[in-house]
A and B are shown apart, each in its own frame.
Chain A
Amino acid sequence: MTSPLGARIVAFLGIAALAFLVLPLLIVVPMSFSSARSLSFPPPGFSLRWYEGFFGDPRWMEALWTSLSLAFISSILAVVLGGLAAYGLRRGTFRGRDVQEGNFMAPLIVPTIIAAVAMYLGFAKANLLGTFAGLVLAHTVLSVPPVMMVLGVAIRSFDVRIEQVGWSLGGSWFYTARTVLLPNIAPSLFAAWIFAFIGSFDEVIVTSFIAGTYETIPKKMFNELILEVNPTITAVATLLMAFTILALGISAWMLRRAGKLRETLL
């Protein structure tokens, strides 16, 4: 349906658009090994000084520890609570399921800056500002939408009659869930956990508003980027990218094995 010339123009535009998406990220990687303080391209020489700067700085290490523990706890909470809720929404018959689901997905639609303002005001009232518990609560809520999306697909496509067989053989709900449902949706469960973990680990807006004196990697990175550009950030950015791509690759592989990659993504 396209003329040869048209096809060439489209191919050029398409490749240019992909380059626009990917190229800036790829340039960060060699820059992180630069020996120079300035961000001049191409880098004049190879060095690991910015990685040493990151791993040798106790403030970055403390931020890393906060980020990791926060992401770990909130992603597990999001998977447990979000998984149970997704199960109730798919299998339940109670009224108002649409409204409930809409509410759980709301953090995806409500601009994050508004969630940040609202949580700041609400948490100030509840004395949760600057507490780890407040951060965990906020991150859990923000991580629920991707969990519900992935697990909603998984639970819907698992035939309820297989569970019913388990119940009819005298298995309790928990026993059936543990031995029948969970093994079957394990890849999706893992992918949901990864998505929630990445989401929490990268969260910057709400965290900046409510964290108080707690530093996380994104919060510290954001604050440094606003003040001045320090090449240590280039090393942090490269590490973050490597971590994200690795985690995504694993979850894509698991979803693909379960045959749900396409359904979950598009």
Chain B
Amino acid sequence: MAAILAERRHGFGFVTPLLVVMLAAFNLPILYMLALGFWSKQGGFTTEHYAALFDAPIYLRVLANTLRISVVATLVNVAIGYPLAYWMRGLSPRAQFIAVACVITPFWISILVRTYAWIVVLGNNGMVNRLLQWTGLTDAPVSFLYNELGVMIGMANVLLPFLVLPLFAAMLRIDDRLMQAAASMGAPPRTIFLKVFLPLTMPALASGALLVFILCLGFYVTPAILGGGKVPMISNLLDFLINQIPRWEQASAVSTILLVVTLLIFAAYRALDRKVGA
């Protein structure tokens, strides 16, 4: 009996130290946050903090803002990322290595640096505006920064590797002979792409897009910097509720809703991702 028990617990000791740290610094704070959202100032259970969210139009406006920006940024990501992954698939191994390095390196570079780079590029005296004026497309500088456009460009840029890397990996797994078979039956390239290749990459594309969408929902740094305080998203609202006007219960309620939505979408992502792996 003791041997069976020992066998069942075998290896648990290795996990324990991390588990203790994780509980103290992550799990308990999250549980505390969840509880705080339902905790009345007078003590006891309440849903008033959630009710308050639906009463104030500002919350709904920020929510709508976040959803709109996230959807657009995700679509832009798909529109840029799919052709990129497709192009990378056809490259020679050496060129593929360079392309993958070009995608992965930005992924590891500080998000602050990547966001800041857009201030340099898109600013009124930046390269893009200089180019637009030099070619005579515009007379006055176009304002890309401190509005929704800038936030969307920045987010699409920062999140692109999250879509491209898994999509490229999935495309590499597709057997070339499938397309050759279709070609030998006389299918034109367009038909082969639409009827064979695209459907095979759909699960990976969908799971990548969901991942990008989740990351968009909780995005903080890029909207804060490129939005210049004029493009509030959920995360900037949370910053406001914690750091500017301390309304902890309200912040807990907003966080809880965002967490639940994120986990639901993540469950869908996992289900799709399993399909990709199978």
Contact = CB atoms under 8 A, between A and B. Distances in A.
Contacts of B193: 1-2
Contacts of A103: 22, 27
Given A23-B121, A117-B251, A122-B30, 19 more contacts: A14-B99, A17-B164, A18-B99, A22-B106, A24-B120, A24-B121, A39-B120, A41-B125, A85-B18, A89-B15, A94-B12, A103-B22, A106-B26, A112-B218, A113-B218, A226-B225, A234-B120, A240-B113, A265-B104
A88 B160 CA distance: 34
B100 interface: yes
Contact of B15 (A28, A88, A221, A245): A88
Given A89-B15, A111-B258, A1 B33 contact: no
Interface size class of B (residues with CB under 8 A): 35 or more
Interface in B162-214: 164-165, 168-169, 172, 179, 182-183, 188-190, 192-193, 197, 214
A92 B157 contact: no
A123 interface: yes
A10 B120 CA distance: 29
Nearest to B86: A10
A126 B130 CA distance: 52
A92 B87 contact: no
Contacts of B8: 93-95
Contacts of A109: 214, 262-263, 266
Nearest to B182: A1
A169 interface: no
Interface stretch (A50-58, A182-190, A197-205): A197-205
Contacts of B88: 14
Contact of A248 (B103, B108, B164, B165): B108
Nearest to A18: B102
Given A10-B87, A40-B125, A118-B30, A28 B112 contact: no
A38 interface: yes
A25 B105 CA distance: 11
A104 B22 contact: yes
Contacts of A94: 8-12, 15
B255 interface: yes
B25 to A, nearest CB: 4
A158 to B, nearest CB: 15
Interface string B219-257: 011001100010000110011001100001001100100
Given A24-B157, A28-B116, A204 B111 contact: yes
A114 B218 contact: yes
A118 B27 CA distance: 9
A100 B15 contact: yes
A2 B263 CA distance: 39
Interface residues of A, number: 85
B25 A119 contact: yes
B200 to A, nearest CB: 12
Contact of A204 (B9, B221, B238, B251): B221
B126 A39 contact: yes
B18 A84 contact: yes
A27 B109 contact: no
A39 B29 CA distance: 42
Contact of A21 (B22, B106, B113): B106
30 contacts: A1-B183, A3-B188, A18-B84, A24-B117, A24-B118, A24-B157, A25-B114, A27-B127, A28-B120, A31-B120, A39-B119, A39-B125, A41-B127, A81-B21, A92-B15, A104-B18, A104-B22, A109-B214, A109-B262, A109-B263, A111-B259, A114-B255, A117-B255, A119-B25, A122-B29, A123-B29, A204-B110, A209-B239, A222-B224, A237-B110
Interface of A: 1-3, 6-7, 10-11, 13-15, 17-18, 20-25, 27-28, 31, 38-41, 77, 81-82, 84-85, 87-89, 91-95, 100, 103-104, 106-107, 109-123, 125, 137-138, 140-141, 144, 198, 202, 204-205, 209, 218, 221-222, 225-226, 229, 233-234, 237, 240-241, 244-245, 248, 265-266
B150 interface: no
B14 interface: yes
Contacts of B9: 94
B83 A14 contact: yes
Nearest to B196: A1
Contacts of A25: 106, 109, 113-114, 117
A122 B255 CA distance: 14
A239 B248 CA distance: 37
Give the top 7 A-B pairs by smallest Cβ distance, nearest first.
Answer: A92-B11, A111-B218, A122-B29, A14-B87, A88-B14, A24-B117, A13-B83
Contacts of A112: 218, 220
Contacts of B87: 10-11, 13-15, 17
